[in-house]
Amino acid sequence: MVGIKGADRAQTLRAVVAVCLLGLFWTVPMRDVSAWGWDESMHAELPAVRVLLGAKLGEWASVSDAVHGCNQYPFAWPLCLALVQAVCGISELACRVAGTWIWCFALLGLFQLTRAVVSTSRGHGPPRRGDDLAPWLALALGALSPLPLAYSGTLFLEVPFAAAAVWALRAWVLRDGTPRRELVAGAWLAAAFFTKFNYGLMLGAGCAGAWVLEGVAALSSGRSAPWLRASAFLAAVPALACAWWFLLPVPEGAEAAARHRAALGSFLGGNRELQATAFGVRLMHWACFFTFSARLLVAQIAGVLATLPRLFRPGVRVLWLCLAAMAVPLWLHPFHLDRFLIPAGPPLWALAGLGLARVLPPAGPRRVAVLALAAVAVFSYPAHDARTLSRAVRLAASDPRVRAVQLETFRGWRDLTAHRPLPTAGLGRAEHDALSDLVAAGVGPTERVGWLGLSSEYSPAAIHLALLERGGPAERLLRDAHRPMDVTFEGVDPGWDDDRLAAWAWGFDVVVCTEPPDFRGRAARAFISAYQRRLLASLGWTHEVLGTVDLPGVRSRPLTLKVFACRPPTR
């Protein structure tokens, strides 16, 4: 037993060293990295900064308001970013590096999860073929996935959720009915849920399926009492956390609880009216972004299928159930973005590692030779897969210039280095900084700022953060950041009359506008221009041109963005 424990510690130490080396290799360089877009700034960094500044200034009501204001996207990741910046200072670089290391933590959890499945499946019996290799294969498959690595340098929630989910699955597999392990598993499930609600429900659905099967087995064997007792400890932390958030969110009240419930319902029911994303686009994301090459995806699927004979082992079974609970809704839901695939990674890679390790030869020269040949087969000439598959699913553009952009995008998908493109959905660094400089120059140190624009590339939160970064007082951010400072983010005109527009505008000392209001010239958002004209013509506000910013075109022509500040007439 001592020898086994010593070997386990040595394996863990080697995995930690491997993951740390990956983290050092991957750490994000900030040059030429796009600035944060809407979701990053609005739903991650702004609440994190509000928590941090509120705690530093002793404004605990602001801290509570920031936490409970995380209605649509939960508070776990902003709290993590607040802790990071409490040590490193408020810094976009610190946040992005933290995300990269969170991904490394997820990979370590993937290694430990696969080891846990191996050990619990084996019981007290001797090691079987592939037991030594499976955790390393799972770790390698995760590390070779470009998609989560690309998003790890952003502030989106998928990678933090994957980290929480993989450790939750490990805690689930190691459950043995004792109160401590049941509580730990429940706590990790709660952490995953409060990192991203919808993915947390999917993970919970998979684990609930495994729990029901455990209950059926316990009832049939006459051991229902221990199972019920263990289930009470397992459910304790998630039940208390959800009761606090959705029923009695201390120190807030029933109104906050109602907001939380309404926001969750709206979020889960949203985006169903959209036109379904094409099959070919989804397939390209799975085959050429989620995996390094389509051939590697085929190998992973083969590995997953190879675990079917062990499906009735509890560890393998919960991985299968969680993979189904993640992948099937993601595939069927009409709204699709590439990053939605990341939460399905941990159970997929763990199962693939387990299955591939079982079909490979035992340790020795033959295994090394087979692994070398497999590596050549799946990694050679990866550009071929994306080029061929895009033609097969009829996504390849006929225009040579557009096709060149497509192929360059596919090449960027495969980048596993620190110079990888970051899909922040924000402006380029130079354009973001130039725009922020203009806004900061046109706003006084205590002025209340409104935003009469509408662009996914630059959010109201970006204005608050830019003013703070350029010397603005922390007190202003805490005073104003919780207030809506824009008319709408939806691509639908809210239909405000002049009285409603005036009531909104008089809440600010200066309203910043841009022409065009949307930085990509989206036609559905052009209605904001009418509000800008009415602010000046009907309500008598004055305006001052702050400057211009040249924005490069992506698929359209470059445009010059005019930035101006509007101030109310003297009363």
Q: What is the pLDDT of residue 519?
A: 87
pLDDT at 499: 93
Q: How confident is the model at residue 125 (pLDDT cuts 50, 70, 90)?
A: low
Q: Is the confidence at residue 29, as pLDDT, over 90?
A: no
Average pLDDT over residues 337-360: 95
pLDDT of residue 571: 57
DSSP output for 211-269: HHHHHHHHHHTT-HHHHHHHHHHHHHHHHHHHHHHHT--TTS-HHHHHHHHHHHHHHHH
- The answer on pLDDT for 129 being more than 80 is no
| Strand arrangement of the beta sheet that strand 510-515 belongs to | 449-452, 510-515, 559-567, 542-551
CA 155 to chain centre: 7
- Mean of all residue pLDDT scores within the chain: 91
Q: Across residues 263-275, what is the average pLDDT?
A: 80
According to the model, what pLDDT value does residue 2 have? 44
Q: What is the mean pLDDT of residues 435-454?
A: 93
Which pLDDT tens digit goes with each residue over 525-541?
Answer: 889 999 999 999 999 99
pLDDT at 3 exceeding the cut of 80? no
Tell me what percent of the residues of the chain surpass a pLDDT of 70. 96
Angle of helix 294-305 relative to helix 134-143, nearest 10 degrees? 150
Question: Averaged over 422-438, what is the pLDDT?
Answer: 92
- Any idea which of 4-18, 209-223, 433-447 has the lowest mean pLDDT? 4-18
Q: What is the full DSSP assignment across 477-519?
A: HHHHTTS--BS-SSSS-----HHHHHHHHTT-SEEEEEESSST
Phi, psi of 486 (to 5 degrees): -130, 165
pTM recorded for the entire structure: 0.94
pLDDT band for 186, please (50, 70, 90 cuts): very high
- Give yes or no for residue 551 having a pLDDT over 80: yes
| Residue 554's pLDDT band (cuts 50, 70, 90) | low
Inter-residue contact 315 to 116 (CB < 8 Å): yes
Q: Is the peptide bond before 362 cis (omega within 30 degrees of 0)?
A: no
Q: What pLDDT shows up at residue 293?
A: 92
Q: What is the mean pLDDT of residues 114-123?
A: 88
Higher pLDDT, 570 or 174: 174
Per-residue pLDDT at 356 exceeds 70: yes
Distance CA 409, CA 154 (A): 18
CB 560 within 8 A of CB 549: yes
Do 354 and 301 touch, CB atoms closer than 8 A?
A: no
According to the model, what pLDDT value does residue 282 have?
A: 94
> For every residue of 397-456, which 3-state class applies, written as one string?
CCCHHHHHHHHHHHHHHCCCCCCCCCCCCCCCHHHHHHHHHHHHHCCCCCCCEEEECCCC
Strand 449-452 versus strand 510-515 pairing type? parallel
Q: What is the pLDDT of residue 524?
A: 83
Quick: pLDDT tens for 476-502.
Answer: 999 999 998 999 887 788 999 999 999
pLDDT (average), residues 137-162: 96
Q: Is 562 helix (H, G, I), strand (E, B) or coil?
A: strand
Find the length of the chain: 571
CB 431 within 8 A of CB 547: no
Nearest to 192 by CA among 215, 223, 160: 160
Residue 41: CB atoms within 10 A of its CB come to: 25
- Report the distance separating Cα 452 and Cα 450, nearest Å: 7
Is residue 274 scored above 80 in pLDDT? no
What pLDDT, on the 0 to 100 scale, is given for residue 190?
98
**Is a pLDDT exceeding 60 seen at residue 555?**
no
Residue 452 has pLDDT above 60, yes or no: yes
